Amino acid sequence: MMMPPIRNRAMSQPLNEHITSPRFGSLLKQCLMLASLITCFSIACDDETTFNGGGSPEINVSPNPITLTAVPVGETTSKTVSIKNIGEGTLRIVDMYLSSELSSLEFSLVMPEGIDNNFALEPDESMEFLINYSPSNEGLDQGRLVIVNNGLSAAQTDNITNVPIETTIGQSDLIYDTRAVFVLNPCDSNDINWHEFRNFGVVPVTLQSASLTQESSSAFSIENFEILRSGTTEAEAVEAIAGLAIRQGDSFRVGISYTPGARGAAEGTLLVSYDGDNGSPLRVELSGIEFQPLVDISPAAIEFGPHDLGVESPITTVTLTNNGLDPLNIEQLGLAVNAPELNAQFTLHDVDIPAVIEPEASFSFGVSYTPAMPGGHRTAVSIAFGECQGQVSVPLSGRLKQPCIQTTPEAVDFRVVAQGQPSAPFLVEVLNCGDAPLDITDVGLSSQTDGFSWRWVDQNLTIPFVLDTRMTQLIEVSFQNNGLSEGAQAMDSLVIENSSPDTPTLTVPLSVTGGGSPSCEMQIIPNRMNFGLVTRGRSVTRQLRAVNRGTGSCDLQEQTIDPLIPIPIPGLGDVFFELTQPIAGNQAAAGQFLPFEITYTPELFNQDSATYTLNYFDPFTNQAKMAQASLSGISGESNIEVIPGRLDFGQVTAGDCASREEKVTVYNTGIVDLCITGLSLEGPNCSEFLITNRPIADQDGCIVVTRNSPAEVNLVYEPGNLGGDQCELVFVSDAADAPELRVPLEGEGVSNSNQVDEFVQTSGQTVDVLFVIDNSGSMSEEQENLADNFARFINGAQQFQNDYQIGVVTTDMDDGNDSGRLQGSPRIMARSPSVGSQFGNTADVGTGGSGTEKGLAAAQAALSDPLIFDTGLACSSDNDCVAPDTCVEGYCGGANRGFLREEAALEIVFVSDEDDFSDANLNFYVDFFKNIKGFRNEGRFHANAIVGSQNGQAASCSGAGGEANAGSRYVEVANRTNGQVYSICATDFGQPLQEIGNQAFGLPVQFFLTRPAESNSIQVSVNGSMRSNGWNYDSASNSIIFDEAQVPQPGQQVRVEYNAQCFPRRGN
């Protein structure tokens, strides 16, 4: 790109006409000296006082030079310039002006209001002003700022400081969309889009090329180019773009055609290169799709799997649901074009076309599969809708049951075997990987090369025999070097004749290399075994292997596990590692791998280490040798939490329907992995509860739950008769806090699906509000702010006459008097004239709490057993209660008994200037809080955060309210529970508390239904008057939500009648 020329213009009058001649500079200098003498006399200076007033001033101008970016003609840009006195005396600025070059006339000097070009600066004092730049034509400009002063400066001549002013070339600024999406209507053959690049910069852009990448789909092609010049309305076609200049305001257009050749999406990339792009052209990602009707297909594809020859599969029902706004006309429905013998194996059932699917309505048909020939078979059901409505397809697949053979490994290399020595034996596993019995008809070696041999591990096996589906047999192969010279190779193959159609003759290549003199060298793999974090009292077993890396056999001797550092003091240096499965046998052939097992069972919270030693004898050097591996592990605890702690499936139509599928999540809140060893249903009515999905156990039968990976169990309730049913989901684990944990399950079978739910609108929500307040060392101002603005929070409750309870806990989980316990007296604040002063006193929780703030854990503890437990049993002292319960205000229970009410909504307000440092995974706390009022009752719970944030996002902040680090975990919990986020650095908390209060105390707008409802059957009435609109059904929460203008008023009766959904049964 060419640089615009710098203009060399004739001289013109400067801004200050009285300072133009060189002669005046000398005169000015003399005047300055004279003025300084006058000043000196006027202040009665002595011998130690300079004319600068106590020292030498020094001028500093920043920036220097003054650089401004070029702007379009007619526009203005500015640069702030600072003059500072970095010397010791008074700096006197006699005058400032711009140099006399014609180019500099496009600059102007703007002083602050009330300050002219003559002023003084004391030491360390500075003053700022503006240099404006308003070009009258294209090109670069330059000039100088001239400052007449009495200071010292390396760039100063005759008391004049010259500061260069210059402009730089502006940037080209091509604005364009980085992605283009083409949607092709079924009635169109192709789609052409114009993609536009517009130059908003001040520098022209010279184009080089525009092309599609080689990876782009052939459905895309570049058709033509256009350019639209600034100020015009008609674009002109361009044949070639190389060298084409795009000036400021111009637009360059590329016409791209999309013509799909096959169904499905297409991808591509448009590259536009230009001078100065440094090898990084502009990229536009292209996506092309054909218009698809808004229809949901269930299932989207059918895999029939393996079936016997000539046996028809069960019929699979396919359902099409119209999710669009217009009816869909099914004109054709049949198998896609395919080989007749393939399609003949698939049968369509109950196809009644033509048909019309109204919006939100469905259409169903059936498909079955009857394999008639070997192999796998694929086709599809093609469904064509009306004119310009498109088409969809349902892929079908199935295969004939047949045997399959597979070996592991696929080849055997005995590596190097010394003369006269046997190789290590290798095991070859033969697997029937199919779904029909496999006939093994013959096994042998292909060339009978000397030294190779094989045998069945099961010596009772005789050929021929049948290998059932997914069953295996082992063949042992070996080599004896009877004369193979060093470096020479020998090969053979193990051949297995069988009845699999794909591989009737399977060969396993065998190879070996001859060695020289035999050697013996044992190694342990791995030579460092870390057992990781293990729960105290739990055992973890790991397998290691000893391998002979030599070319001859080694004689094995003793195996031991010893302390890393022997300590001859009882109780110290104990070894918690045990050799539970030693190496079998007393000899290791060349290349042989010998497995063994070591078990780690820690008894103390500690880091443990030991050394495993294998002693062996090398018969070729007559030396005793050893191979070793270091062992290590750390002990800790795992803790189990299950959410929800109780699961009620509600009412379900008995005999015909199942409940909606529900989920139970297991969290590990400890520091080591949790092992679930048992998962079962226990109880008299458990046959009507069904586990539909359970976690997969490892080879040791352990379902491993880490801190970051919870385990999920899905269940449904399928009542077979009327009445209530109970069962328990039981988890057995190695958790330190609850090795056996039970989740009660219940449901009720009813006779019909019609349901009527009735509600009476309250004067305001019944609400429990928990404030979690940081009591660490930096929170004094924030606690005062909270107390001062509490009245604005409670205003909503006063207006709606709410039944509310308010409690306060701290973020301190180290002090037993905190740790989720309600603070203050009364511990639960309710409606009263003195609630404001009560809250002010309670919110002043002090600043002596732990610096490790755990607000989420504190809220979880406050709302959990044992603190929240309430027995309802009267008491007069703690002796009347069973531990851990105590006598709290006349009743046995936890310290927070009575706070959490089943019928009340719940609001939590976190107030902290630090992030949360609670131990458990964030997902655990979110699920715990949501579960309190039910996962689907999201309108009844919100977590709110007054923490380090800006504009609702977690961020460090500082302000009149203080400073805070980003409250990231609190903000995420608030966002995921539809709560509100405010900055703790705000001047006051009045507005945040008022908005939280409005949400907490307003009239209920959401009414939760007893059973999942069929949306098209719902009828809503208020005080006997039907409401056909003004409300919506939210299927996720199974609730009726009224529009703001239609919310029922206090005392009005809401009646909802509907048919309950019937979910398909999976069990009995």
How far, in Å, are 823, 866, 871, 872, 900 from residue 893 at the CA level?
16, 8, 6, 8, 13
Of 257-271, 544-558, 911-925, where does mean pLDDT reach its minimum? 257-271
Binned at pLDDT 50, 70 and 90, residue 15 comes out as very low
pLDDT in tens, 298-310: 999 999 989 999 9
Is 18:152 a contact under the CB 8 Å cutoff? no
Is 376:397 a contact under the CB 8 Å cutoff? yes
Reduced to 3 states, what is the DSSP secondary structure of residue 933? Answer: helix
Is 774:913 a contact under the CB 8 Å cutoff? yes
pLDDT at res. 14: 34
Question: Of 245, 273, 290, which residue sits at a domain end?
Answer: 290
1026-1032 average pLDDT score:
90
pLDDT at res. 7: 30
Q: What are phi and psi of 845, to 5 degrees?
A: -85, 0
d(CA 633, CA 961): 48
Identity of residue 708: N
pLDDT at res. 361: 92
pLDDT at res. 20: 33
| Residues 577 and 632 reside in one and the same domain | yes
DSSP 25-58: HHHHHHHHHHHHHHHHHHTT--TT--TTSSS--B
Q: Which of 823 and 795 is assigned the larger pLDDT?
A: 823
466-473 average pLDDT score:
92
Measured torsion, CA atoms of residues 1022, 1023, 1024, 1028, in degrees rounded to the nearest 10: -20
Binned at pLDDT 50, 70 and 90, residue 11 comes out as very low
Strands (E) in 870-1018, as ranges, are 870-874, 886-888, 891-893, 905-911, 941-947, 949-950, 953-954, 957-959, 962-964, 981-983, 1006-1008
Whether 618 has a pLDDT exceeding 90, the answer reads: yes
Identity of residue 835: V
| Residues 584 and 717 reside in one and the same domain | no
Is 770:782 a contact under the CB 8 Å cutoff? no
pLDDT in tens, 149-188: 888 765 566 688 889 988 765 555 677 777 787 776 666 6
Binned at pLDDT 50, 70 and 90, residue 330 comes out as very high
Report field, pTM of the whole predicted structure over 0.75? no
Binned at pLDDT 50, 70 and 90, residue 239 comes out as confident
Is 412:510 a contact under the CB 8 Å cutoff? yes
Q: Sort 415 into a burial class: Cβ within 10 Å, 0-12 / 13-18 / 19+.
A: middle
DSSP 693: E
Question: Of 482, 515, 548, which residue sits at a domain end?
Answer: 515
Buried b / exposed e along 822-846 (16+ C-beta atoms within 10 A): bbbeebbbeeeeebeebbbebbbbe
Strands (E) in 751-828, as ranges, are 754-760, 767-773, 804-810
- Percent over 90 (pLDDT), the chain: 36
Q: Helix and strand tally (H, E) in the chain?
A: 9, 76
pLDDT at res. 48: 35
Sign of CA pseudo-dihedral 90, 95, 101, 107: positive
Identity of residue 860: Q
pLDDT in tens, 195-227: 888 876 667 788 889 999 999 888 889 989 999
pLDDT at res. 800: 54
d(CA 141, CA 94): 27
Reduced to 3 states, what is the DSSP secondary structure of residue 929? Answer: helix
CATH number for the domain that contains residue 829:
3.40.50.410
Helix (H) or strand (E) holding 858: helix 855-862
In a domain, 10, yes or no: no
Whether 687 has a pLDDT exceeding 50, the answer reads: yes
CATH number for the domain that contains residue 282:
2.60.40.10
364-376 average pLDDT score:
93
How far, in Å, are 330, 334, 369, 381, 393 from residue 337 at the CA level?
18, 9, 17, 9, 12
Task: Provide the angle, in degrees to the nearest 10, between the axes of the packed helices 968-976 and 855-862.
Answer: 50
Binned at pLDDT 50, 70 and 90, residue 46 comes out as very low
382-397 average pLDDT score:
86
Number of domains observed in the structure of the chain: 8
Whether 28 has a pLDDT exceeding 60, the answer reads: no
Binned at pLDDT 50, 70 and 90, residue 32 comes out as very low
pLDDT at res. 718: 92
Please count the residues of the chain: 1068
In a domain, 893, yes or no: no
Is 156:62 a contact under the CB 8 Å cutoff? no
Question: Of 615, 636, 657, which residue sits at a domain end?
Answer: 636
1027-1050 average pLDDT score:
86
Whether 5 has a pLDDT exceeding 60, the answer reads: no
| Residues 229 and 318 reside in one and the same domain | no
Whether 38 has a pLDDT exceeding 60, the answer reads: no
Q: Which of 216 and 11 is assigned the larger pLDDT?
A: 216
Is 191:220 a contact under the CB 8 Å cutoff? no
Strands (E) in 401-471, as ranges, are 405-408, 412-418, 426-432, 438-445, 452-456, 465-467
Whether 864 has a pLDDT exceeding 80, the answer reads: yes
Per the structure, the complete domain to which residue 1033 belongs is given by 1007-1059
Whether 870 has a pLDDT exceeding 50, the answer reads: yes
pLDDT in tens, 757-784: 998 887 666 889 999 999 888 787 788 8
Most confidently predicted of 164-178, 210-224, 665-679, 730-744: 210-224
| Residues 68 and 159 reside in one and the same domain | yes
121-137 average pLDDT score:
88
Is 903:766 a contact under the CB 8 Å cutoff? yes
State the residue for tokens 């070729």. Answer: 620
In a domain, 3, yes or no: no
d(CA 1039, CA 1010): 9
pLDDT at res. 263: 53
d(CA 62, CA 126): 11
Whether 44 has a pLDDT exceeding 50, the answer reads: no
pLDDT in tens, 958-1008: 877 678 899 999 999 998 888 889 988 887 777 777 777 777 777 778 888
| Residues 908 and 1039 reside in one and the same domain | no
In a domain, 461, yes or no: yes
d(CA 958, CA 952): 15
| Residues 632 and 645 reside in one and the same domain | no
| Residues 88 and 106 reside in one and the same domain | yes
In a domain, 871, yes or no: no
Reduced to 3 states, what is the DSSP secondary structure of residue 773? Answer: strand
pLDDT at res. 807: 93
R_g of the chain, CA atoms, integer Å: 42
- Tokens, residue 222: 């570049």
| Residues 631 and 682 reside in one and the same domain | no
| Residues 714 and 785 reside in one and the same domain | no
In a domain, 878, yes or no: no
DSSP 170-214: PPP-EE--SEEEEEE-TT-S-EEEEEEEEE-SSS-EEEEEEEE-T
| Residues 178 and 66 reside in one and the same domain | no
Sign of CA pseudo-dihedral 704, 709, 713, 714: negative
Whether 474 has a pLDDT exceeding 90, the answer reads: yes
d(CA 941, CA 901): 13
DSSP 93-158: EEEEEE-S-GGGGGEEEEPPTT--S-EEE-TT-EEEEEEEE--SSSSB-EEEEEEEES-B-TTEET
pLDDT at res. 562: 92
Task: Provide the angle, in degrees to the nearest 10, between the axes of the packed helices 922-933 and 968-976.
Answer: 40
Binned at pLDDT 50, 70 and 90, residue 39 comes out as very low
Binned at pLDDT 50, 70 and 90, residue 569 comes out as low
In a domain, 890, yes or no: no
pLDDT in tens, 423-453: 888 999 999 998 899 999 999 999 878 899 9
664-684 average pLDDT score:
84
pLDDT at res. 614: 97
Sign of CA pseudo-dihedral 231, 233, 236, 237: positive
Whether 74 has a pLDDT exceeding 50, the answer reads: yes
d(CA 731, CA 743): 8
Q: Which of 879 and 645 is assigned the larger pLDDT?
A: 879
How are beta strands 981-983 and 941-947 bridged, if at all? parallel
In a domain, 164, yes or no: yes
Q: How would you list the strands of the sheet with 593-600, edge to edge?
A: 522-525, 540-548, 593-600, 577-581
Is 208:242 a contact under the CB 8 Å cutoff? yes
DSSP 720: S
Average pLDDT, the chain: 84
Identity of residue 108: S
Strands (E) in 991-1030, as ranges, are 1006-1008, 1019-1022, 1025-1027
| Residues 454 and 355 reside in one and the same domain | no
Of 27-31, 616-620, 951-955, 965-969, where does mean pLDDT reach its minimum? 27-31
| Residues 811 and 729 reside in one and the same domain | no
pLDDT at res. 656: 85
